[in-house]
Structure 1
Amino acid sequence: MKKLLFIFCFIICTNAFAQILSSTIEKKTIALGEVNSFVVTINNLRDEKVSAAPQNELLPFHFEEIKDSIAQNPDIYYRRIEFAVYEEGKFTIPELEFKVGSKVLKTIPYEVDVINTAQKGDTINDIMKNKEVKLEVTDYWELYKFYILAAIALIALIIAIIMFLKWGRKAKNSPVVATNQTLKELDSLKKKKYIEAGNYRSFYVELIDISRSFITKQYRLPADVLLTDDLIDLMKKNNTISLENEKVVEDVFLRGDLVKFAKTFPDKDTMEKDLADIKDFVKRSSKDLEFENLRKDV
């Protein structure tokens, strides 16, 4: 009998000094978006520290926490969470752990039924009538300024592209540019000292290549793909190149073919004269183009 009395007293003392966790939920059935509350209380803390999930992170995903307030004194821990659910269905608040010192306490799980209380055909009334607000020019600017600036930038880009396509490419392929570029190439050829070294074959190969490229750009003739005889015949039929320039091209190109096949061996004076004649031809080409443009206008 004494033994039973001792055990009974021990249980009473243990419960009297043990931490007690309790939890309640205000409503187990709520409407969509309705605010509900969940409360956790722990008694008999005896200055023990309580550890749990951070504020606004205690409840699962579907429970939108609106307010999470915590109060604690040396003996009691109190936590109240206000929440809402914005989906229909049944949702569960599982067991939630609260660590008191080294001891882990758990709440009981709760099931919350979320229903849509709106009925088909219900009239939805505004809380207040809509107001008409008169907008000023500055208000419209604030609303649409990014669209306006984007449209201006797009128009400017389109204009820049059109200008580049219309004038930019023409500038690079203009007669003056082609002339200056070719004269530089001819000067570079002279600096290679082919004439002084008597390397007539390399001299004429490069001289003819430069000349063909120039005729192709300047006169829009396929000089880069035609044989010499065909090119001379085309120049005479085309009438774009003056007779003086035709003569220079014909003499130099025919001599270049003879040199290429080792049928002639020009001397230094001849090579220097051919280089000078091609330079003069390049410089005079602008006059050919001016005459051609006048003829087209007439």
Structure 2
Amino acid sequence: MKKIFFIVFSLLNVVLFAQTLGSKLDKKTLALGEVGTFRVSISNLQGKDVVSAPVNELLPFHFEEIKDSISKEADHYDRIIEFQVFEEGKFNIPALDFRIGGELYHTIPYEVEVINTAQKGDQINDIMKNKEVKLDVKDYWQMYKWYILGVLIVLALIFIIYQIIKYGKRRKSSPAVMTNQTLKDLENLKKKKYIENGDYRSFYVELIDISRNFMTKQYQIPADVLLTDDLIDVMKLNNAISPENEKIVEEIFLRGDLVKFAKTFPDQTTMEKDFNEMKTFVKRSSKDLEMDQLRTGV
């Protein structure tokens, strides 16, 4: 008797406290693009957690989910999915996993057949014939004005940037800027105290390099690549440099060549004189350029 009572009690316990998982598919045959509904329900939940695939990821690949809603109460769980299929054929919804309070449950599998309801030879007619509308200039302007304005703005920005870059380059290469930069280079040379230390070779090498770079940019003479004799000839033919400045450049450059090849050894007074005369030449260069502009009529 006790045994029978225990069995009955166990069965009642299972019936009263077990969860019931159910699923339902509203249509097993769908037209292309027709909306179908798949529903999963769990009753007698007793407040347990339900874990399943994330929203819009429960059904297989071919099922395009358009709505996936989940509602859960203490004793009941509902998940309703609306879907469409856009290919003809038979497609399976497999047994889906639902974990309830840590225990794994499965829905039953389904097969869905998708058919094309359009018949061969059916004629598709427009509801209304297309109406031709003639467009004038104002209509085209309204349609494309923002594109046109955008292009004009881009072109204006490109022009402004070009002018800024061009002006910046012109400013950097202007006679006044070049003169000031060369005077700074000469002052830096003097700070190295080559004159005081009697290092005449280093002094003349750097002095002539500074002078060549200055003449190349200030007078547009290729002084940085010409030999001294050739440079003197070009200066005299070019007439861009005044005779006084030509004389200074010629004397200092020739003396620098002699120092370079150890054919002469200038003293401190000579180096001081050459430094000051080259500095004077740089300062007077703007007058040479003004005279050259007057001669060429610029």
Give the shorter-chain TM-score range. Answer: 0.7 to 0.9
1:263 is aligned to 263
Per the alignment, residue 297 of structure 2 pairs with 297
Q: Counterpart of 1:273 in 2: which secondary structure?
A: helix
Partner residue of 1:196?
Answer: 196
Residues 173-184 of structure 1 aligned to structure 2 (within 5 Å): 173-184=173-184
AA aligned to 2:162 is: I
Which residue identity does 2:94 align to in structure 1? P
Question: Counterparts of 2:155 and 2:108 in 1: how far apart (Å)?
Answer: 66
Q: 2:51–2:100: 8 Å Cα contact kept in structure 1?
A: no
Answering whether residue 50 of structure 2 is matched by residue 51 of structure 1, we say yes
Aligned to 1:278: 278
Q: Is the 1:198–1:268 Cα contact (8 Å) retained in structure 2?
A: yes
Offset of residue 176 of structure 1: 1.0
2:137 matched residue in structure 1:
none
Residue pair 2:45, 2:74 contacting (<8 A) in 1 also: no
Q: CA deviation at 1:12?
A: 8.9
Aligned to 2:39, what secondary structure does the other structure show?
strand
Alpha-carbon separation, structure 1, partners of 2:176 and 2:282: 10
Shift in Å at residue 163 of structure 1? 0.6
Structure-2 residue corresponding to 1:3? none
Q: Specify the SS of the correspondent of 2:124.
A: coil
Q: Residues 107 and 277 from structure 1, CA distance in 2 versus in 1: closer, same or farther, beyond 3 angstroms?
A: same
Partner deviation per Cα, 1:79-103 (whole Å, 9 max, x = no partner)? 5433222333332111123345565
Q: Give the C-alpha shift of residue 247 in structure 1.
A: 0.9
Scaled by the length of structure 2, the TM-score of the pair is 0.77
Deviation (angstroms), 1:181:
1.0
Q: Are 1:86 and 2:89 counterparts?
A: no
Change (3 A) 1:86 1:260: same
- The letter for the 1-side match of 2:67 is I
Instruction: Report the CA distance between 1:232 and its aligned residue.
Output: 0.8
- How large is the RMSD of aligned CA atoms in angstroms? 3.7
- TM-superposed CA distance for 1:281, in Å, is 1.1
Counterpart-to-counterpart distance in 2, 1:33 and 1:224: 80
* Alpha carbons of structure 1 residues 289 and 121: separation in structure 2 relative to 1, 3 Å: farther
| Gap regions ≥5 residues in structure 1 | 1-5, 133-139
Percent of matched pairs sharing the same residue: 58
Q: Could you state the TM-score of these two structures normalised by the residue count of structure 1?
A: 0.77
Q: Give the superposition deviation at 1:229.
A: 1.1
1:253 match: secondary structure? helix
1:169 corresponds to: 169
What is the distance in 2 between the residues matched to 1:111 and 1:13? 35
Confirm whether residue 123 of structure 1 aligns to residue 124 of structure 2: yes
CA distance in 2, matches of 1:221, 1:97: 87
